[in-house]
Structures are given as C-alpha cells and as structure tokens.
C-alpha cells in the first residue's frame, strides 16, 4: 500500500511553507536579492535549513516563485476592486484603493515587485514583463470601457494605461518613504484619481 500523508501532516507542511514564503518576502524586501541568504530566510521563518531545500533547490528558484505569487496576489486584488464598480471614477478609485491597501499593510510586497525584482535575475525578466503586461491590461480595459460608454474621447488606451501604471507605481513608492504612509494615503488617493480622470479627458456626470 502506497504511503499517504495524513491531513494533519499536510497542514503542517503547508504552514511551514507559508511561514518560509512570508519570511522570504520580508528578507528580500529588506536586503535585496543579492544580499539575502538562505540562512537569513530560515532564521526569519524559524525553520530548519533542510525545510528550505525540501521545497526549493536554491535561492533563485524561491525568488522567482515568490515574485510570481506576490504579483498574482496584487493583480487579483486590484482587478477584483475594479470589477466591483461600473463607472470610470469608481473603477479607478477602487483599483487604486486596493493597491494602496497592500502598500500600507504589506509594504514588503510592493518593495519586492517594484524594487527587489528589477535587474535581480535574468530568469526574472520574462516574469516581470508578464506582470507589467497584466497590470497595464487592467487599466486598459477600464479605459476602453469608458471609451465605449462615450464618457471619454477616443485615445490610445494602451499608451494611457502604461502611463497610469508607471505614475501610480511612482506615487506608491514615494508614499512608502513617509514615516507614516497611512496618514498620506488618503490625499495621495485623491491626487491619483484626479490625475487619472484628467489624463483621459473624463467628462463628469451626475451618476458619479
């Protein structure tokens, strides 16, 4: 009879893996890919070094996997916020609020995606392009819906979405430099919404 691990055993393994992944996000965000070591990660996670090698063959594999998971988490969060709204102002507000919430409460994720991942590994380049493409596509869909609804003029939706992505990232990165980013989050959100609407020539309506 083939051995099958019990549900309790699987849960313990999942808990160790989750703990290690969370620790890795923190360590990579703080030290950067090249300075961070496997020992730093297992120490932060409070697991044995053998646990690391049970899940990952090396630091590079972990980092790429971690980048993919955190990127997917951020993208899904923004996309869910956008999809829950119908008008352009509300879609932009919800998407940006979702982004800011992660930045405020999980800043290590933002640092990993926007700072730690840039130029760290050749093997990461394709993953980063995929992440940027998906992020831009979220905003592009929002803009195209507004064009179809005739609330903004015809324009290059892809180019504008690229501008959105870059500008929003810059604001968020600078926001995290404040001693208390949560205090600056609300005015930053309003500024980003106004910028986004003005950039596409949005015509306000009574339903906003």
Pair 116, 131 in one domain: yes
164 to 52, 90, 117, 171: CA distances (angstroms): 38, 15, 20, 11
**pLDDT of 141:** 97
pLDDT band at 30 (very low <50, low <70, confident <90, very high): confident
Q: pLDDT tens digits for 79-109?
A: 999 998 989 999 999 999 999 999 999 998 8
CA 146, CA 141: separation in Å to the nearest integer?
Answer: 9
How many domains in the chain?
2
Q: pLDDT-derived band of residue 5, with 50, 70 and 90 as boundaries?
A: very low
Residue 73 sits in a domain of what CATH number?
Answer: 1.10.357.10
Average pLDDT over residues 45-70: 90
Whether 95 and 48 map to the same domain: the answer is no
Residue 2 lies in a domain: no
Q: What is the pLDDT of residue 77?
A: 96
Q: Would 141 be classed as within a structural domain?
A: yes
60 contact partners, CB below 8 Å, separation of at least 6: 121, 123
Question: Domain residues for 134?
Answer: 63-199
Query: Is 170 within a domain?
Result: yes
């Amino acid at each position: 009879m083939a051995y099958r691990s019990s549900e309790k055993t699987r849960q313990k393994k999942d808990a160790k893996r989750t703990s290690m992944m969370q620790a890795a996000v923190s360590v990579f965000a703080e030290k950067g890919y090249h300075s961070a070591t496997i020992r730093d990660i297992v120490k932060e996670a409070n697991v044995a070094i053998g646990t690391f090698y049970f899940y990952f063959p090396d630091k590079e594999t972990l980092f790429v996997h971690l980048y993919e998971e955190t990127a997917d988490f951020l993208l899904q969060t923004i996309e869910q916020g956008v999809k829950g709204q119908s008008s352009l102002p509300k879609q932009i507000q919800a998407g940006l609020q979702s982004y800011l919430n992660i930045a405020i409460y999980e800043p290590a994720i933002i640092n990993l995606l926007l700072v730690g991942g840039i130029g760290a590994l050749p093997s990461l380049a394709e993953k980063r392009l995929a992440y940027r493409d998906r992020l831009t596509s979220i905003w592009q869909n929002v803009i195209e819906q507004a064009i179809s609804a005739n609330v903004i003029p015809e324009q290059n939706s892809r180019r504008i979405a690229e501008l959105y992505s870059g500008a929003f990232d810059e604001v968020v990165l600078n926001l995290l430099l404040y001693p208390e980013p949560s205090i600056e989050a609300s005015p930053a959100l309003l500024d980003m919404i106004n910028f986004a609407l003005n950039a596409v020539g949005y015509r306000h309506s009574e339903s906003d």
